[in-house]
Amino acid sequence: MVSLLEKWFGTQRTHPDFRFRGFLFSALLFISSSFVFFIYYNLVIDYFPPMLIANSVSLFFCIIGGYYLLIKKRPKVAATILQLIVSIDTFILILIDGNEEFALVFAFLTPVMGVFLLGYRNGSILSLVYFAGIFYFCFTQMDTWQPEIFLPISLIHFSFIYSLLLIVSFFYDSSRRKAYQMMEETNRQLQELATTDVLTKLRNRRYMEDQLLNAIGNHYIAMLDVDDFKKVNDQFGHDQGDKVLIKLAEVLMHNIDLLDTVGRWGGEEFIIIFAEQNLAQLEEKLKQLNYSVAHTDFGIGRPITISIGLANHYANRHRDCIRAMDQALYDAKANGKNTYSIAS
C-alpha cells in the first residue's frame, strides 16, 4: 500500500512531504465518503434540496482536489480546495440549521484542519475570518433559536473552545515547522562539517573522492604537494607548518576558476578538479599555480613551492587515474620540484 501511495504522490516515504500528502489523501477520502452519505441521506431518507445541492457540489470539488493531489502533484492546491470545501459547507450547514442537532460543532473543523492544511499563518487567518462570520451569525440569531435557546454563556463556551483549538493548532504546527527547519539546518551543518577540512576549510578527501566517483564524463585532476614540507615543520614547528597550509589553501582558492574544485587530500597534499578540458589552457593554469605559490610570502623567511601532477580522470577507472596522477607528481618531484608533470 505504501509503495502504491509513493507512486501516486510522486515522492518517497522518507520525504517530509509524504506524511502531509498522506494526511491530505486520507482527509479527501474520508470527507468525500461523508458527502456521499449525506447526499444519500438528503435524497432518500430526509429529502432536503439545499443540503443535497451543497453536498453534491462539495463532492465534485473533492474529486477536483484529488485530481490535483494525485495527477497534477500539486498538494498545496488540493489542500486549499479541501479546506474551502470544509469551511464553506459547514458554514452553510450552520446557517441553515442554526443550533439544531448541534450543527455548530462542525465549526470546530476549520481551525484544526485549516492550520494543518494551509499552515499556521494562512490557516489562522482563515479561521479568524470564519469565526467572525459564525460569531456574528450566532450573536444575531441566538435569541430566536428553538427549542434550545443559545444563551450568552453558550456563545462564550463556543468562543472559548474555538479559540483554544485554534491556539493549540497554531502553536503545534508552528513549533513543528520550526523544529523541522532547525533539523534541516543542523543536518546541513553536519553535512558541511563532514565534507570540510578542519584546518584549511577546503573540501576534504571524502568530498573530493565522492565528486570523482560520481562524475559524469572525464575531468582533469591535479595533485599538489608542498616541496620539502618536512623541513618546514622541523625548522619552524608544526604550528607554523599549519599556517603555511592555511595560507597555501587561500592561494589555491584565488588561482582557480569558479567551476573548479580544490580540496585537501591529506597532509601537505592538495587536489584540484578542473572544469577546463583544453590541455593547453590547463598547462597555463599549472604554470600560474607554481608561480603564485613561489611568489607568496608565507611569513617564514623562505619561499614555499609546490610540485604538481596532472592526469585525466574517469570515474570507472578511478584508482588507475589516481595512480597516474601520483606518478605524474613523482615525476615533477624528480624533475627538480616547483614544476608540473602531465601523466601520459
Residues 111-125 pLDDT 10s: 888 888 888 889 899
When the pLDDT of each residue in the chain is averaged and rounded to a whole number, the result is 88
Q: What is the tally of structural domains in the chain?
A: 2
CA distance 130 to 190: 43
pLDDT single digits (tens) 226-272: 999 999 999 999 999 999 999 999 999 999 999 999 999 999 999 99
User: CB within 8 A of 20, min separation 6: which ones?
Assistant: 75
Q: Report the half-sphere exposure of 192 (CA within 13 A, side-chain side).
A: 7
**Full residue range of the structural domain in which residue 332 is found:** 205-342
Is residue 196 included in any domain, yes or no? no
Q: What is the pLDDT of residue 113?
A: 84
Whether residue 217 is predicted with pLDDT greater than 90 in this model: the reply is no
Q: Hey, which residues are catalytic here?
A: 268
In this structure, of 119-128, 145-154, 222-231, 332-341, the range with the lowest mean pLDDT score is 145-154
Q: Per the domain annotation, does 321 fall within a domain?
A: yes
For residues 132 and 209, state if they share a domain.
Answer: no
Specify the CATH number for the domain of residue 290.
3.30.70.270
d(CA 273, CA 152): 75
Q: Which residues of 275-299 are buried (b: 16+ CB within 10 A; e: fewer)?
A: ebeeeeebeebbeebbeebeebebe
Q: Which of 315, 340, 316, 321 is nearest to 330 (CA)?
A: 340
Domain-embedded: residue 199: no
223 & 337 share domain: yes
Strands 269-273 and 306-314, sheet pairing: unpaired
Residue 226 DSSP SS3: strand
Give 66-119 pLDDT, tens digit per residue: 999 999 999 999 999 999 998 998 898 888 888 776 778 888 888 888 888 888
| Residues in Cβ contact with 278 at an 8 Å cutoff, skipping those fewer than 6 apart | none
